[in-house]
Structure 1
Amino acid sequence: MRQLTAYEHGWLDFGEGRDLALHEVEALASAEGVLPPGCLQWGHRRVKFTQFCGVVQVDGLQVEVLPKLTPYQTEAQQRDTLLTMLACAGDLEGVDNLGAGLATNRTTLLDLFIRHFAHLLERQLQQGLLRDYRDIDDTLDQVRGRIDLVRQQRENLFKPQRLACRYSELVADIPVNRLLHSALRLVILLCTSPMLAQQLHALRMRFGQVGTLAHHERGPAADQLNRMQSRYYPLVALAHLFLDGQFLDARSGRQQAFSLLFDMNRLFERYTASRLRPLASRHGLKLMEQGPRRYLGQEDNGRGRLQMRPDISLRDVRGRPVVILDTKWKRIEGPVALAALSAADLYQMAAYATAYGCGSVVLLYPEQAHLRSGQTHHLTLAGPQRVRLTLGAIPLDGQLINTDLLEEGSQSMRDELQAGVAPVTLI
């Protein structure tokens, strides 16, 4: 298996002696239909991954796609950045703790994901394999459970020494275990580390009496687990990520492609929300993702046009948005951060301020060379209503951000308190 490291929005040339051989390009192109839409962008004898990071594996080639915000970071640091964001956003709980010290240049991103899966599984198996009761119908020579009279009359009418019994038995071959066994069997084929493969084979021996899912079966989702199985929630969610990423060739029955890709725009939005939520709570504000939704305009018949859905909004005690935040997974080009803002982004924030009647809007970028955490830049937008735009950076190391970003929203609430609005406790 040849391993190749790429970066989002970084071109890969193909041809003899280039990044990709022609047969690898053909395999990647044939798998494009099962990859996330818009994941690949093709150019003249070159291809690049857009805003998606993660792992793609096609015949004989494994490509790991890393985020690229600062040119001086190593591959290991970029892997750490992605792992931290996934852990904070809730996609892979605890993967940042396991990845610390392991995300070296010799450890692939996929092996880190698999190692995390093995760690979670081993920790749960220390408490014993999950078991549940299953009803079993069998014909015995002595009563066990209860006699099924209908089956007894139908099958053993002339064999009174045989008894049709129905009983419950505690078994390990249950849907949750079959899901985990299926994921375990898959990751054994995907991992590249011999030591990790040995660990996975040892774990699979614990599932000797457990079957695997059929091709048409999906297994229980994480939110379908009962109370006794709830501790398996992160493990089941990760197992589905692995199984959903495999695509089989219907003609040969073998694995054709595997992908575990994350949309960095959406991931950065969820990561930012997780970092802002405790901060908003301390300011007496309630954080809402992807809303509230409103139309920018209405026709004469009252029909709304151009529905808006802010990435993040901070609402006061009356549910009114006092701060609208928009996340941008982009690089700032140039030393002056405000000068690097695009006209489209400024128009968007001005539209938010007008539609929501909000006097404070915030643009949040990931921390980078020309936009450091702890520093904020301000701009007053022209219009009948004074709107203050704040440009800030979110650190990608999982640390809490500074309070200046929310100061406008909390100040708005204080002004309402002085005007006699219903009181609220500010911490």
Structure 2
Amino acid sequence: MVNANFPIQVFEHEKLKIGLKDDQLSQAQLKMLQEFYGEKGVPYYKLIHKGVQFTEYVGVIKVGNLTIEVLPKADKSSNRKDWHDILINMLKSVGLFKVHAPSSSTLKLKSNSILDLYFELFVNEVEYLIHRGLIKKYRRIEKNSTALKGPIKFAKHTRLNIVHQERFYISKTVYDKDHLIHQILQKTVRLLQRINDNSDLKSRLGSLGLNFPEVADIKVTEEHFNFQLTRKTEIYRNALDIAKLILLNFHPDVSKGRNNVLALMFDMNLLWEKFVYVSLKRNLRKGDTVTAQNQKNFWKPKLGYKTTIRPDIVLNKGKESCVVVDTKWKNLKASNPSADDLRQLYVYKEYFHSKKVALVYPGEYSKIKSGFYYEKSFQSLGEKECAVITQKSFSDISYWQREISRQIYGWIDEN
């Protein structure tokens, strides 16, 4: 049975079942996962007989006192620590796990779970902001006052102060720390005080609660994050990014209050796409350009909305040397790409007038296998090429990114 004090680690697509071993679930823990799945389901796992099977999503799920880390896997290695570190470094490299702020240059909980690292990063950010000095903002308030400082709101003044003629119901502007940014951060601090299990963070979260100014308690929704940061508030960006990730992915148990769920999960296909794009961008050659998610119109009915196509990565868009790269997070092993993937790249080649197209997969080895589409007569091979590029993973993320770029640019330069 899983020890509630330590996260259990599984690989994507792996099954987790009821049992008595350390890496198995208890009946109560499975019930919590089943309740979170509910009738509508969740994309992170599916229910199976006496257990769950995870999907292509990776990250961390905390249900009650149970924490599960779901790790990526692209080769035969079953070393969970290696893939735990690779996942964290991939998240760092694409900006989903930011550790570049002045307050977070060193993280103390390096060996702990992904969830602990997110929590500690948020604590570091808020501690830094408090030390630097929290900003004040102007806001408008209405209230009863014994001093006439501000315009009187006559309708409410007449209704509320009929027997208290010494009072004035006024509207005035105040300049203080009670504003939306601090309300969001305080909400996150209070939530972490409830759900954090790491003893090293408990005292720091307690200090934050005591040192943070009194602000209004709000129910945070996605709409609350629809504001633009200014030069003055830009320093709050990292803390707000983590707060958004935590608050919007927290699902409270309204019936019992014990089995709250926090799911910080990422689609591995999207993470791989972003990782390859960032690798090419960071190692971009002089004179080349790289863009992501380029869109072209593809089809439209007489009445209704048009359909578009959107390749993952386009190098040198609009030039004769244009190249389209599409990423897929799956291990092909010895098999060919699916017909759907190959058809997709054929369409990209036609619509983007690209010199070359390629599918990029993770794999056991780094290699390139070129293939050609048949002519429309289906009798002979044509000259339209689609390469299949597989890239071996490396624990050194910077080296891995350089290898991805070297391999793809080397393929582009081939005749």
Match of 1:292 among 288, 292, 295: 295
Deviations 1:147-199 (A, max 9, x none): 42737973779988655554332222211111111111112222221111111
Match of 2:310 in 1: 309
**Distance in 2, Cα, partners of 1:149 & 1:59:** 48
Letter of the 1:207 partner, please give it: F
Is the contact made by 1:223 and 1:233 (CA closer than 8 Å) also made in structure 2?
Answer: no
1:402-421, aligned counterparts within 5 Å?
A: 402-406=405-409
Q: 1:269 to 1:150 in 2, by over 3 A?
A: same
Q: How much does 1:322 deviate?
A: 1.7
Match of 2:201 among 196, 205, 212: 196
Is the contact made by 1:390 and 1:405 (CA closer than 8 Å) also made in structure 2?
Answer: no
Q: Does 1:21 align with 2:17?
A: no
Q: Helix, strand or coil: the match of 1:386? A: strand
Q: What residue ranges of structure 2 are gaps of 5+ in the alignment?
A: 376-381
**Distance in 2, Cα, partners of 1:6 & 1:73:** 10
Deviations 1:48-77 (A, max 9, x none): 211111111223322121222345464333
Q: How much does 1:236 deviate?
A: 0.9
For the aligned residues, what is the CA RMSD? Answer: 3.7
Q: Helix, strand or coil: the match of 2:251? A: strand
Is the contact made by 1:39 and 1:52 (CA closer than 8 Å) also made in structure 2?
Answer: yes
**Distance in 2, Cα, partners of 1:298 & 1:45:** 46
Q: Helix, strand or coil: the match of 2:98? A: coil
1:26-425, aligned counterparts within 5 Å?
A: 26-33=31-38, 37-72=42-77, 74-94=79-99, 102-104=109-111, 107-144=112-149, 146-148=150-152, 150=154, 154=158, 165-214=170-219, 217=221, 220-221=224-225, 223-252=227-256, 256-280=260-284, 282-289=286-293, 291-295=294-298, 307-317=308-318, 322-333=322-333, 339=335, 341-366=337-362, 368=363, 370-372=364-366, 376-383=368-375, 384-393=382-391, 397-398=397-398, 399-400=401-402, 401-406=404-409
What is the TM-score when the length of structure 2 is the normalising length? 0.80
Is the contact made by 1:51 and 1:264 (CA closer than 8 Å) also made in structure 2?
Answer: yes
Q: What residue ranges of structure 1 are gaps of 5+ in the alignment?
A: 413-427
Q: 1:212 to 1:83 in 2, by over 3 A?
A: farther
Is the contact made by 1:247 and 1:258 (CA closer than 8 Å) also made in structure 2?
Answer: yes
| Aligned residue-pair number | 396
Q: How much does 1:395 deviate?
A: 5.3
**Distance in 2, Cα, partners of 1:53 & 1:39:** 8
Q: Helix, strand or coil: the match of 1:63? A: strand
Is the contact made by 1:312 and 1:324 (CA closer than 8 Å) also made in structure 2?
Answer: yes
Q: 1:330 to 1:36 in 2, by over 3 A?
A: farther
Q: How much does 1:110 deviate?
A: 0.9
Match of 2:10 among 2, 6, 16: 6
What is the TM-score when the length of structure 1 is the normalising length? 0.78
Q: How much does 1:248 deviate?
A: 2.2
**Distance in 2, Cα, partners of 1:220 & 1:304:** 30
**Distance in 2, Cα, partners of 1:222 & 1:272:** 29
